[in-house]
Amino acid sequence: MIDFKQLAMPGPVALKPYTPGKPVEVLERELGITGSIKLASNENPLGCSPAVTAAVQSALGGEFFARYPDAAGHELKADLAAYHGIEAERITLGNGSNDILVLLAQALLGPGRAAVFSDYAFAVYPIATAAASGQARIAKALGADSDMPYGHDLDAMAALIDDTVRLVFVANPNNPTGTWIEPDAFEAFLRGVPQDVVVVLDEAYYDYQPEEWRIDARRLLDAYPNLVVTRTFSKVYGIAAMRVGYGLSHPGLADILNRVRQPFNNNAVAHVAARAALADSDFVDESVALNQTGLARLRQGLDQLGLGYLPTHANFLTFDLGRDAAPVYEALLREGVIVRPLAGYGMPQHLRATVGTADENERFLTALSRVIAAS
Ligand SMILES: *Cc1c(COP(=O)(O)O)cnc(C)c1O
């Protein structure tokens, strides 16, 4: 018998696998029900821009499938460079922004090197760190009764930086909390970080933020060569299945990441889809507007149920059951409503619900009030 845990590096062996939101098909097969809704993975409830579907459909075909994609992703990078007003050499394309986080860890971490991130931060940070055999330094988050409960405490994060640290992950807004950081506070933090520590600003929910809270990454990238900003097409653009994300950084760091990444880490369909998605800003505006209305409705519904929730600038709301949330999660599943349990994040009394369509939000609130009334 081979003991593969003896063979592997200790970092990967110590990892807990990522638990994704339960897919609708899996729930329906398990319970023999139909008509369920999934509000568990922060996907866009409108789907994607019709222009994406049209562009993908017209590209499909034997020749298109037979050829390798453009390994450098020239066309998508050119579009992104124009969109952000930066040089294409600053862009690294990823198979989702998850890929960029992993590439950063692979390039910068290893035995004897550490990454800093917050308690209750995105689950991929510990995974990417351990997979690269780096050490995780986890900062205490802001208190449950602060005005940004469970949010990043940038002072606590700065205090963990020493000369073994090469990477800091900051999610803004953060998942699974929805909490955010003030642009001035982020810049003050950056100013205090040594230049040989790379700071990742993960902006997966960028477009959902009110204008006045958006960090001006373009300006900061010029001023702070150790900054990397990551963005994704999985959330507001509605093409999570395509797996496209990217990093914006100093060209020197992009050059390193481009050496590490698989040459064909984006498939050709994904390139077509992302270009069409980026071009449809009306779809983004419509999605953001739907999210604002939906968030207001969810807050109102939770208020009526007497449940607390965290502040959010994203497309989800994390709410507090005030007791073990697992039975509520299970009961919601039986009502055909999938949300996200957060016990794995150390928040066993909270659940995270993605903002859905108006109909989905009503389904969720009705199911939740039934479940609470019955318990
Ligand atoms: C969803 C998410 C991502 C990225 O997802 P990809 O699909 O890999 O692009 C990155 N960071 C945070 C905080 C997220 O919630």
Q: Residue with the nearest Cα to atom 1 of ligand 1?
A: 204
φ, ψ (nearest 5 deg) of residue 8: -75, 165
**Distance separating the N- and C-terminal Cα atoms of the chain:** 48
In this prediction, residue 17 has a pLDDT band, given cuts at 50, 70 and 90, of confident
Query: What CATH number did the domain enclosing 36 receive?
Result: 3.90.1150.10
Nearest to 70 by CA among 100, 96, 87, 93: 93
- Cα 8 from Cα 130, distance rounded (Å): 12
CA–centroid distance, 371 to ligand 1, in Å, is: 30
> In the listed set 247, 279, 311, which residue is the last one of a domain according to the structure?
279
Full residue range of the structural domain in which residue 150 is found: 50-279
Residue 166 sits in the same domain as residue 294 = no
- Record the tokens describing residue 290, joined without a space: 């739907």
> In the listed set 263, 279, 295, which residue is the last one of a domain according to the structure?
279
Cβ-count burial 334-344 (b if 16+ within 10 Å, e if not): ebbbbbbbbee
Predicted confidence at residue 144, as pLDDT, reads 94
Residue 157 sits in the same domain as residue 242 = yes
Does the pLDDT value for residue 281 go beyond 90? yes
Q: Residue with the nearest Cα to atom 11 of ligand 1?
A: 204
As for how many domains the chain has, the answer is 2
Residue 14 located in a structural domain = no
- Cα 364 from Cα 372, distance rounded (Å): 12
CA–centroid distance, 147 to ligand 1, in Å, is: 25
171 lines ligand 1 (CB under 6 A): yes
Report which ligand 1 atom has the smallest distance to the Cα of 243.
7
Residue 179 located in a structural domain = yes
- Cα 87 from Cα 218, distance rounded (Å): 10
175 lines ligand 1 (CB under 6 A): yes
- Cα 44 from Cα 46, distance rounded (Å): 5
Residue 254 sits in the same domain as residue 301 = no
Find the mean pLDDT for residues 79-90: 98
| pLDDT > 70: percent of the chain | 100
368 lines ligand 1 (CB under 6 A): no
- Ligand 1 binding pocket mutation candidate from 48, 104, 118, 122 (most atoms within 8 A of CB): 122
- Cα 220 from Cα 244, distance rounded (Å): 23
Residue 275 sits in the same domain as residue 326 = no
Q: Residue with the nearest Cα to atom 10 of ligand 1?
A: 204
Environment class of residue 300 by beta-carbon count within 10 Å: exposed (0-12), middle (13-18) or buried (19+)? Answer: exposed
Residue 13 located in a structural domain = no
> In the listed set 279, 312, 331, which residue is the last one of a domain according to the structure?
279
Predicted confidence at residue 20, as pLDDT, reads 85
Find the mean pLDDT for residues 147-153: 97
Nearest to 333 by CA among 12, 98, 30: 30
Residue 195 located in a structural domain = yes
Nearest to 103 by CA among 244, 253, 260: 260
Predicted confidence at residue 14, as pLDDT, reads 87
Q: Is the dihedral of CA 217, 289, 317, 232 positive or negative?
A: negative
318 lines ligand 1 (CB under 6 A): no
Residue 58 sits in the same domain as residue 200 = yes
Report which ligand 1 atom has the smallest distance to the Cα of 101.
10
Residue 163 sits in the same domain as residue 180 = yes
Residue 15 located in a structural domain = no
Residue 136 sits in the same domain as residue 263 = yes
Predicted confidence at residue 375, as pLDDT, reads 85
Question: Considering only 2-16, 36-50, 354-368, which range has the smallest mean pLDDT?
Answer: 2-16
Q: Which residue has the tokens 């097969």?
A: 29
Collapse the DSSP code of 1 into the 3-class scheme (helix H, G, I; strand E, B; otherwise coil) and give the result.
coil
Residue 9 located in a structural domain = no
Rounded to the nearest 5 percent, the helix, strand and coil shares of the chain are 45, 15, 40
- Ligand 1 binding pocket mutation candidate from 98, 180, 203, 237 (most atoms within 8 A of CB): 98
Sheet holding 114-118, edge to edge: 91-94, 245-248, 227-232, 198-202, 165-171, 114-118, 135-139
- Cα 96 from Cα 107, distance rounded (Å): 17
Please, where are the H alpha helices in 177-320? 183-192, 217-223, 251-260, 268-279, 281-304
Residue 138 sits in the same domain as residue 268 = yes
Report which ligand 1 atom has the smallest distance to the Cα of 121.
13
Spatial contact of 102 and 169, defined as CB atoms under 8 Å apart: no
CA–centroid distance, 205 to ligand 1, in Å, is: 8
Residue 39 sits in the same domain as residue 175 = no
Residue 221 sits in the same domain as residue 171 = yes
96 lines ligand 1 (CB under 6 A): yes
268 lines ligand 1 (CB under 6 A): no
Residue 198 sits in the same domain as residue 347 = no
Residue 61 located in a structural domain = yes
Query: What CATH number did the domain enclosing 76 receive?
Result: 3.40.640.10
DSSP structure string for 307-352:
-EE---SSSEEEEE-SS--HHHHHHHHHTTEE-EE-GGGT-TTEEE
pLDDT tens sequence across 35-69:
999 999 999 999 999 999 999 999 999 999 999 99
Q: Does the predicted model carry a pTM greater than 0.95?
A: yes
CA–centroid distance, 112 to ligand 1, in Å, is: 27
51 lines ligand 1 (CB under 6 A): no
Residue 139 located in a structural domain = yes
Own/partner pairs, 86-92, CB within 8 angstroms, 24+ separation = 86/218, 86/221, 86/248, 87/251, 89/251, 89/254, 89/255, 90/221, 90/248, 90/249, 90/250, 90/251, 90/254, 91/246, 91/247, 91/248, 91/254, 92/246, 92/247, 92/249, 92/254, 92/257, 92/258, 92/261
Residue 44 sits in the same domain as residue 54 = no
CA–centroid distance, 289 to ligand 1, in Å, is: 21
Report which ligand 1 atom has the smallest distance to the Cα of 244.
9
pLDDT tens sequence across 286-318:
999 999 999 999 999 999 999 999 999 999 999
* Chain centroid, CA 129 distance in Å: 16
